[in-house]
Structure 1
């Protein structure tokens, strides 16, 4: 399954209502791919999938390469073209991992990733971590390939979790909750209904304005991506990253590194070349919340006001 053409109607990114945390994490992962992808978790019907698709469309003009839940390992890793093989000719066929790396958005999207076979999840996350794909099985061997893409997954925790080892491989996690404000819910209804009514129109001012806003956002993110190499972390900021991860009893050290890389991207998005402890504080939940779990069920302990207070108390004096 490859990315789809631009004729597929998708709500413009600028018309999304709410979704602030998920949108921020997607933008950060795009600006700095070293962050390592995004996991969006939330109940059904909260527009997780819509947000990912419209982000990919805004960035690249196409939907993301999508891995279906029932995909075989041949489809994921690559195999042989079946029609050619039946004719006695062995012609290799790229899998979804390579397709994602070559796609305009460089995104592999897995909806309901917690329902995907653990074997495939392990393979995908290993490739994401190393950037290398090596296939050697069933008569097919190939040289190591450099495969770089952002893995974006969604899941409904009510349908089961991911093992802590797998959760840790996602750079950032965004918790998506239903909008409780009646005015926000009304905006969602009005926006979707108007989009449905005008999406086929070639002269809709409403959609023209939204597409112009998407173009501006894409340009801003590309500017941030170009600025990223100039963004630095001061000593106070690095110390804060380490102290925060230690105080939250984060398992392993990947969280500390992701937090620092994500903070660089956030600073670049804001147009500054210096990361401050406040950048780190804003991303603590997204980078560290899912790395506190040691429960094999994969449930993530809730992030509460106590964690926010702890993050505030650890701020260096220079950031107060």
Structure 2
């Protein structure tokens, strides 16, 4: 029985949904960081996306996870009996799925580094009894954080490909739409059974399948979308103008823009595609964020992107 609100029914949070979709289309993006207060629908959107794309809920990494629990160790019950039986870690459990790290800013930096290394390389190194084993592991990484509880170190911030700031909906009309959706789903769920799902849930599942097929097509077509020299130069110019350190910002803008173009079934990446993803790729790479400030991306920043891309 479906217990998770279908992805197709989620109202609002368009930036969050876009970031999740882009990270799926282009795994090289290396993860999405979601910043926002509790009760803003972060977990709901992530779980709904995982259910739709991987037909299972995300593997959730707890705050107190040890290195053995993350990368793998020995089965404790067998070890107590003097037997060595390997136990896979959470990263391997998340293989070909979604790894969800709630409150990633409260996690030990060493553990975060391990996760980000595996995300970027696709290789998990497990060391047991002096022996080293390498395993191919791939997953979509999503981390959430509440900025009121502290931020991530700049080195870790930069390694998340995209970042989204999620705020509680303030417009009455949109809040009503969100509440009505949840109420409708609860009511549909009460009359739903595996043999005879309600028409409301059948329609949502049908929409989910269309979303899933479209994202899978975009992922398959990703490298067929052309990145022109002009667009590549625009990505570099944006990163430089926003003072993003290093070269990762340039690369993330290009990856995200290409993924967005593939999602839109375009043959060539345009500056409009770049504009649509600039916030996601640059927000956490600005000097203000690296200095510990948590200013959200503003309309002024959007205008600045527009001006840079237009060459004014």
TM-score greater than 0.5 by the shorter chain: yes
Q: Determine if contact 1:164/1:293 at 8 Å carries over to the other structure.
A: no
Work out whether residues 292 and 301 of structure 1, in 8 Å CA contact, stay in contact via their aligned partners in 2: no
Contact 1:293-1:301 at 8 Å conserved across structures: no
In the aligned structure 1, how far is the partner of 2:142 from the partner of 2:119? 11
Please name the residue that 1:80 is paired with. 74
**Which runs of 5 or more structure 1 residues have no equivalent in the other structure?**
1-6
Give the corresponding residue for 1:42.
36
Partner of 2:270: 276
| 2:172 match | 182
The match for 1:119 among 103, 110, 115 is 110
For the 8 Å contact 1:65–1:108, the answer to whether it is kept is: yes
Matched, 1:152 2:146: no
SS for the counterpart of 1:162 is coil
Gaps of 5+ in 2: none
Q: CA separation in 2, counterparts of 1:126 and 1:219?
A: 29
Q: CA deviation at 1:295?
A: 6.0
Residue of 104, 118, 133 corresponding to 2:124 = 133
Residue among 248, 254, 257 paired with 1:263: 257
Which is further off, 107-116 or 22-31? 107-116
Mapping 1:281-292, distance limit 5 Å:
281-292=275-286
Match of 1:170 among 160, 169, 193: 160
- The aligned length equals 308
- CA separation in 2, counterparts of 1:145 and 1:242? 34
Contact 1:26 1:38 in 2 (8 A): yes
Aligned to 2:170, the other structure's residue is in SS state coil
- 2:232 is aligned with 1:229: no
Secondary structure class of the residue paired with 1:134: strand
Q: 1:251 aligns with which of 238, 245, 250?
A: 245
Aligned 8 A contact 2:21 2:215 in 1: yes
Q: Under a length normalisation based on structure 2, what TM-score does the superposition of the two structures give?
A: 0.94
Match of 2:132 in 1: 142
Which deviates more, 107-116 or 49-58? Answer: 107-116
**2: CA distance between counterparts of 1:140 and 1:91?**
15
Kindly indicate whether the alpha-carbon contact (under 8 Å) linking 2:30 and 2:116 is maintained by their aligned counterparts in 1: no
Q: How does 1:17-28 map to 2 (within 5 A)?
A: 17-28=11-22
Which deviates the most, 265-274 or 294-303?
294-303
